[in-house]
Structure 1
Amino acid sequence: MKNFLSNYFRLSENGTNLRTELIAGFTTFSTMAYILVVNPIILSKAGMDFNALVTATALAAAIGTLVMALWARLPIALAPGMGLNAFFAYTIVLGMGYSWQFALTAVFLEGLLFILLSLLNIREAIIDAIPAGIKHAISVGIGLFIALIGLNNAGIVETGMKAVGDGQLDGVIVKVGNLTAAGPLIALAGLLVSGILMVRGWNTALLIGIIAATLLGIPLGLTHMPEDGRLVGWPPSIAPIALQFEFDKVFSRDMLVILFTLLMVNLFDTVGTLIGLCSKAGLLDGQGKIPNARKALTADAVGTTAGAMLGTSVVAAYVESASGIAAGGRTGLTALVVAILFLLSLFFAPLFAIIPSAATAPALVIVGMLMMGAVVHINFADITEALPAFLCVVMMPYTFSIAEGIVFGMLFYVFLKLLTGRGKELSPMMIVLALLFILGLFLK
């Protein structure tokens, strides 16, 4: 078996060995295992069954990562994406009023389209046409959006205004919550623990922060044992959420708008992550291209399609894979280890069920912080670059919608370039995308 793995993944050719790849796999899993908690909590806000979501999340991550491991043979793990799950729950369902079944149908169709676009190499062509500043701004905006969700879930900040009669509103849009309450206390404690461990270089910082906050929640009355008292058991059934599609609405205008928005949101995610991770691992070729790019892009498309069938949101490459790469992972064997660990995690679903939403806030805030790092790549000296990027960033948390931020950023970029005599800087594809965004506005 050792020789087979060494030959199949070409360990010696990539300057690595079996032990290094195994350690890298465990490292990557430890840094992204929080998704097994966070994804079910976020999607359950849309009315989906929490326990079933734990199983769906683990299976979707395992399937997508297996394709990446065995076909693309890259040390990159996949799972339901942060930001995209928030878009699913908070924008499509809670914000726009659609059912979660409707949203799952859109995710399923997006997966099928992405498989086709990946095989035809169209995804790379579209990505190449998008300005770098907008790509970075999308990452930053999603980071702020995710952090806001985490802070709000913990009660550290409170959002929204309430009616008090005669059309009068009371409260403010965003304010500091009661920081002495149990939720904010355990979230802030977990955030402090994760921050300290990150400073010390612990790859498990996010996961330990969640565990610390959960343990602190026991004496504060927020953490409750499962009803049967067991922390280990058989995986929960996915029956409540699997294959729950609304195909009767496939050709509706609403589906067109949501599907188009999902495509736009997800287009910028995996390609950017793949480039960054492969660059860190020293895997890019002489022209700066990703090895097995088409296979790698197909992996997230297959994962998304399978994930929708299982009952979860869009599957994407995880930047946390950088931790495994930093530990020496260079081949698909690293990803294979991650996939196996996701499958084993299915038997610990009752353990995830006891974790309060406030305990996951530290992970959301820190992931938001990490995504903010892309802001240094935005050219603020050029207003035609800076203003669209800024609008893209701020409109996501301000409107509580990732899609609105992208629309504002893309359209302002095109309009500013055209109206300042710099239309030559726009690619034909960028103009086409802007027209599609305008069409999408009128289709709402």
Structure 2
Amino acid sequence: MIMEKLDSYFELTARGTTVLTEFKGAVATFLTMAYILAVNPAILSTSGGDCEYGDNGPFGPEYTLCQEETKRQMVVATAMTSMFACLVMGLWANLPIALSCGMGMNAYFTFNVVGFKGFGNVSYGAAMTAVLIEGIVFFVLAITGARYWIIKTFIPEPVRHAVPAAIGAFLAHLGLQTAEGLGIVVGDIATAVTLGGCSPEHRVPLVALDEACKADTSMCVTSDTYTCDVLGGQMESPTAWLGLAGTVLMVILLTYKINSSFIIGIGLVTVISWFRGTAVSYFGDDALGDAKFDYFKQVAAIEGFDKIAMKYDFGGAKGSDYVVALITLLYVDFLDTSGTLLAIVSSMGLVDENGDFPKSRAAFSTDALATIFGSFFGMSPITSYIESAAGVEAGSRTGLTSIFVAFFFFLSIFFAPILSSIPAWASGGSLIIVGALMCRSLSKVHWENPAHAVCAFVTVIVMPLTYSIAYGLIAGIGTWMIIKAVAFVLGMAFGIADPTIIEADEPAQVEKEAEPEKFAEDAAKESEA
């Protein structure tokens, strides 16, 4: 009886999947995005939250202690907000898409809005008010259908086809870097990025050489960005090679159609990395490693919310800096979430000939509701996670996957010390693999038409290089608008036909239009296998 109700509500049979397949996909999705439990609190707490400067200022022990307490509370808040978002997506939209605090959005919120240790022009309370307002505006756009209409109207065909591949390239870029991946691609003073893979002792941090840093080196802002060029040691890092081995293992397992490929690869590398005293240990032999291991040994820990809950400051929500922050949060979150949703749903073969998909209004509304909910607990905007593609590749097709992911986030509320200890080099390989598989969407682009080809290429290349889904979409859409504007002027003045229009009866187009149905059939066959 229960299985029949599950099948009916989540359309398991209709989408060619099973409860077990959905569970495996959920595990794959959760493992690839579990890093958010550690990364998001680390980024957001850098702003200082609602902490006040003590007698010794922002670098005194009182402020530092407050920051640490804020960070621990944000671990639980991140898990709880993600759980709520995934539940809504699964129960309402019936899509296998997980949500959490958006990477990039949290960095913008911290470093550009509130500022490092609160040095920005917008207070933490006012910034949280901006997040709340943004969520409300987004919800109105989504529930009325205006959000989907905007996407359908203003995102041209070549950009829509290029977005999955562009996000795939972005994912692979993340998987190759240190914070979320293998650490093979690192920073470079001359070329921005270069070959890395060096051990921690060979890493030289890159700093922002602004006026404050020039005047006082203690004010220099550092980040996870570093270079291996100064001290050498490229590709000598044991963790990079362990991560590569895990990646190869996952590729081999995928080749043999084993749906648990991501679980096996990530799990094996993680367990190996938990042993202390080895060259690949996640818990190094230093003060930081000891702190991580002490936190890991707690197994279960729950924090309160007194430092982060309901910290709105409506009185401080004014001024040009605040308006800029609100507008930026709106358009970046709009484009990021829209691109992610369309990419994943397209890869599942659920998008119809009009570019729509089942329960699209509910799907676009979910991240808005989650953003409103997250603002109650001091979180930056919530967005759909492209890492959900890992679950889709493992066979996920329904919202039951999101329900399982929500359950994992619920467990992480109690077991954050364990789940936040999954090394980046364990999950980075899965991001690279998923990125590669998502590039198949490029087969739908009309490469024989220069206008379509250039717009698609610009979208794909800009997205990973600017570290932003939004900027990739802006570049692709902007290029298309310029070409269309020129074509319109030439057509009106000289009667020249618009070269961007593809005739529907062209053989190549007919073949391409049949691909979504073919993909759906292939996906169903793979799920059955």
TM-score (norm 2): 0.63
State the one-letter code of the partner of 1:60. Answer: T
Specify the code of the residue in structure 1 equivalent to 2:193: V
Unmatched segments (≥5 aa) in structure 1: 162-170, 427-444
1:190 to 239, 243, 251: 243
1:152–1:159 Cα contact (<8 Å) kept: no
| Contact 1:274 1:290 (8 Å CA) reproduced | no
User: For residues 156 and 327 of structure 1, what CA distance do their matches in structure 2 show?
Assistant: 25
Per-residue CA deviation, residues 248-304 of structure 1 (Å, 9 max, x unaligned), is 554443344444344334434555655666667676789774333322322222122
Number of aligned residues: 410
Deviations, residues 362-417 of structure 1 (Å, cap 9, x unaligned): 45544544555544444443333333443444344444555544443333322222
Report what 2:81 is aligned to. Answer: 60
Aligned twin of 1:227? 294
**Corresponding residue to 1:110 among 127, 134, 156:** 134
Kindly state the Cα deviation for residue 178 of structure 1 after the two structures are TM-superposed.
5.2
Give me the whole-angstrom Cα distance separating, in 1, the residues matched to 2:430 and 2:377: 25
C-alpha spacing 1:257/1:407, structure 2 compared with 1 (3 Å): farther
Greater CA radius of gyration, 1 or 2?
2
- Tell me: CA distance 1:181–1:375, structure 2 relative to 1, closer, same or farther (3 Å): farther
Letter in 2 for 1:186: T
Any idea what the Cα deviations from partners look like across 1:402-436, whole Å, max 9, x if unmatched?
5544443333322222124478889xxxxxxxxxx
Q: Name the SS for the 1:290 alignment partner.
A: coil
Residue 309 of structure 1: CA displacement?
Answer: 2.8
**Structure 1 counterpart of 2:159, from 126, 130, 134:** 134
Q: Which residue of 2 aligns with 1:381?
A: 448
Of 375-384 and 191-200, deviating more is: 375-384
Of 90, 94, 98, the match for 1:78: 98
Describe the SS at the equivalent of 1:226. helix
Q: In structure 1, how many angstroms separate the alpha carbons of the residues matched to 2:300 and 2:376?
A: 24
Q: For the Cα contact (< 8 Å) 2:168–2:439, is it kept in 1?
A: yes
1:210 Cα deviation (Å)?
A: 5.6
- Conserved 8 A contact 2:139-2:368: yes
Partner SS for 1:124: helix
Deviation at 1:92, TM superposition (A): 5.1
Deviations 1:31-69 (A, max 9, x none): 333322245325624516554343233212211122223
Structure-1 residue corresponding to 2:27: 29
Paired residue secondary structure (1:76): coil
Deviations 1:57-107 (A, max 9, x none): 3212211122223333x14232226xx412431x45446884684665544
* Contact 1:115 1:301 survives alignment (8 Å): yes
- Kindly tell me: are residues 372 and 286 of structure 1, through their superposed partners in 2, closer, same or farther at Cα, counting changes over 3 Å? closer
Give the share of equivalent positions with the same residue, in percent.
28
1:33 maps to amino acid: L
Q: Is the 8 A contact 1:76 1:318 kept in 2?
A: no
1:289-327 deviation line (CA, Å, top 9, x unaligned): 433332232222212222233333443344555666677
Q: Shift of the alpha carbon at 1:243?
A: 3.8
1:137 and 1:393 in contact (8 A); partners too:
yes
Cα distance between partner residues in 2 of 1:261 and 1:209: 40
Contact 1:87 1:401 in 2 (8 A): no
Stretch moving more, 41-50 or 303-312: 41-50
**How far 1:126 sits from its partner (Å)?**
0.5
Query: What is the match of residue 145 of structure 2?
Result: 121
Determine whether 1:173 maps to 2:192. yes
Do the aligned residues in 2 keep the contact of 1:24 with 1:328 (CA within 8 Å)? yes
Change (3 A) 1:411 1:40: same
* Structure 2 CA distance for partners of 1:387 and 1:139, relative to 1, 3 Å: same
Mapped contact 2:28–2:390 kept (Cα < 8 A): no
Q: RMSD in angstroms over aligned alpha carbons?
A: 4.1
Gaps spanning 5+ residues in structure 2: where?
A: 48-69, 119-123, 202-235, 255-260, 284-288, 492-497, 500-529
2:358 maps to which of 291, 301, 315: 291
Superimposed CA distance per residue, residues 152-208 of structure 1 (whole angstroms, 9 cap, x where no aligned partner): 4454333143xxxxxxxxx54322235355894313422331342243131425633
Code of the residue aligned with 1:308 in structure 2: it is S
Q: Give yes or no for contact 2:6–2:12 (8 Å, CA) kept in 1.
A: no
Paired residues of 1:25 and 1:335 also in contact (CA < 8 A): no
C-alpha contact 1:65 1:79 (8 A) present in aligned 2 = yes
Whole-Å separation in 1 of the counterparts to 2:339 and 2:331: 14
Return closer, same or farther for 1:15/1:362 CA change in 2, 3 Å cut-off: closer
User: Per the alignment, do residues 178 and 209 of structure 1 end up closer, same or farther by CA in structure 2, a change over 3 Å counting?
Assistant: same
For 1:235, what is the secondary structure of its paired residue? Answer: coil
Q: Take 2:113 and 2:355, find their aligned partners in 1: how far apart are those partners?
A: 40
Task: Give me the TM-score of the superposition, normalised by structure 1.
Answer: 0.74
* CA shift digits 1:2-57 (9 cap, x unpaired): 54x7447625975379x932551353233333322245325624516554343233
1:189–1:136 distance in 2 versus 1, CA, 3 Å: farther
CA distance in 1 between counterparts of 2:268 and 2:112 reads 30
The amino acid across from 1:302 in the alignment is L
Note if contact 1:104-1:245 (Cα within 8 Å) is conserved in structure 2: yes
SS at 2:99 equivalent: strand
